[in-house]
Amino acid sequence: MKDLPPAALVQIAAYFQALSEPTRLHILNLLRQQERKVGELAELCGFSAANVSRHLTVLQQHGLVLRESRGTSAFYKIADPSVYKICDLVCGNIARQSDRVAQERASFFPFKPSASTKR
């Protein structure tokens, strides 16, 4: 991001904002497996088709998914699989942070109490 103009930073922030909603991440995970119709995604997510459709519109506006019409159906698929690399990096970072917090908490309890010390 070094030396990017402010307009580019706004675009980057909007891209990450599109990824900041759990339902959209769920949709992206489902599309990782295969292309799907809105109704199918809605059923798998447990949300209304209208709700899923709104999320798909956001994802499409940011170039994350593609919409393809076939007859009376619209299918959605991933436009750029590199989005999964970003998500995997974030997941790895969160896992490392969680491990670090667990280790810090464990330092407060250096030993496990035995049955005889419990009262």
Domains of the chain are 6-79 (1.10.10.10)
Residue 44 has pLDDT above 60, yes or no: yes
Q: Per-residue pLDDT averaged across 83-105, rounded?
A: 88
At 114, is the secondary structure helix, strand, or coil?
coil
CA–CA distance, 70 with 68 (Å, rounded to integer): 6
Residues 6+ apart with CB under 8 A from 25: 19, 87
Q: Which range is least confidently modeled, 2-16, 20-34, 56-70, 100-114? A: 100-114
CA–CA distance, 101 with 98 (Å, rounded to integer): 5
Interaxial angle between packed helices 49-61 and 38-45, expressed in degrees from 0 to 180 and rounded to the nearest 10: 110
Question: In terms of Cα–Cα distance, which of 75, 84, 79 is closest to 19?
Answer: 84
Residues 6+ apart with CB under 8 A from 2: none
**So what's the pLDDT on residue 117?**
56
36 touches 27 (CB < 8 A) = no
Residue 111 has pLDDT above 90, yes or no: no
Q: What is the pTM of this model?
A: 0.79
Residue 119 has pLDDT above 60, yes or no: no
